[in-house]
Amino acid sequence: MFFRYTKIAVACTLTLTALLSGCSKDKANEQKSDTFTATTPATGEASPILERNEKQRLITTFQEQFKKSNINIKITDIKKTEVPNIYWVNLEGAPSIYATADGKYVIQGDILGLGDGKIHNIGEDLQAVENKKLFAALDNKDLIVYPAQGKTQHVVYVFTDASCPYCHKLHESLPEISAKGIEVRYIAWPRGEQFYPNMQSIWCSKDRKAAFAAVAKGENITAEECKNPVKEQYMLGVKIGVNGTPAIYSQDGHYLGGYLTADDLAKRLSK
């Protein structure tokens, strides 16, 4: 497995506006209205208005703390975690992080939960939800797709680099993977600037599959230039936390692993 770490700095401006309005004939009605909007419904579920206002407040707080630290990056979403006062923070063009409720501390990496006889990653499901949306937004025309044999049982997304030896091993096992009813969708993820030309040439080729197979065998292909999605796909990988190839994800956004045999991949998908 090869690794690459990328530092991203995105200049941005975030403006948040909260508009609150009320109308009442008297103070009694006004108090009644305020009470209604400031409490949870009888169902016991959190009020959508309260949740939205709280999220906006947190985003503003975190964004201000980032600005004080000269970090120019936009916060796109915030979610609660099972850990008290720890939030899952989605960033534009960068991997998600954890942050304390006051925005004074951030945590990069995994937070593991203990108990119930096993250890679990508290951010895994949160990241998977985000990944699923991002994968669903991809157009198959921008990928290299290897259909399953017979009925499709599973779909996986693979961040790959034609120059990566472990990607070669995975590529060689595609017939076995396909025979298990698994469709494989390649996403371009060059591991460094020196690998961009080949990946762009592959994605610009009339036959991407043939071009990828040729490069994987160590053959040279004709340099091609065109409008291509390689850079955007690379940034997608950065955003969801890819740091090496191959990186295999299920269609529902869960990370399955790096290089896996056809049997191992099928077992993980069956879970």
Q: List pLDDT tens digits, range 57-69.
A: 888 988 998 899 9
Point out the least confidently predicted range of 8-17, 131-140, 146-155, 237-246.
8-17
Band of residue 50 on the pLDDT scale cut at 50, 70, 90: low
Give the CATH H-level superfamily of domain 2-122.
Disulphide bond isomerase, DsbC/G, N-terminal (3.10.450.70)
For residue 188, count CB atoms less than 10 angstroms from its CB and return exposed for 0-12, middle for 13-18, buried for 19 or more: buried
Q: What does the DSSP 8-state code read for residue 11?
A: -
Distance CA 268, CA 271 (A): 5
Distance CA 208, CA 143 (A): 9
In angstroms, what CA-CA distances link 99 with 72, 123, 213?
Answer: 16, 12, 43
The pLDDT of residue 55 is above 90: no
What does the H/E/C string look like for 94-118?
EEEEEEECCCCCEECCCCEECCCCC
Give ranges for CATH 3.40.30.10 in the chain.
135-270
Point out the least confidently predicted range of 13-17, 73-77, 206-210.
13-17
* Strand, coil or helix: 48: helix
Catalytic residue among 161, 185, 204, 226: 161
Distance CA 228, CA 143 (A): 10
Q: For this structure, is 161 an active site residue?
A: yes
Q: Give the residue from 130, 158, 192 showing the smallest Cα distance to 260.
A: 158
Q: For this structure, is 167 an active site residue?
A: yes
Catalytic residue among 164, 185, 207, 268: 164
Give ranges for CATH 3.10.450.70 in the chain.
2-122
Catalytic residue among 52, 110, 125, 167: 167
Distance CA 168, CA 245 (A): 10
Q: Identify which has the larger pLDDT, 196 or 38.
A: 196
Q: For this structure, is 204 an active site residue?
A: no
Peptide bond into 246 cis (omega under 30): yes
135-154 pLDDT, tens digit each: 999 999 999 999 999 999 99
Catalytic residue among 139, 191, 204, 252: 191
Taking the domain 135-270, which CATH number applies?
A: 3.40.30.10
Q: For this structure, is 208 an active site residue?
A: no
Structure tokens, 127: 């990241």
Sign of CA dihedral 234, 236, 241, 242: negative
Distance CA 60, CA 78 (A): 11
**Those residues with Cβ within 8 angstroms of residue 25's Cβ, 6 or more apart along the chain or in another chain:** none
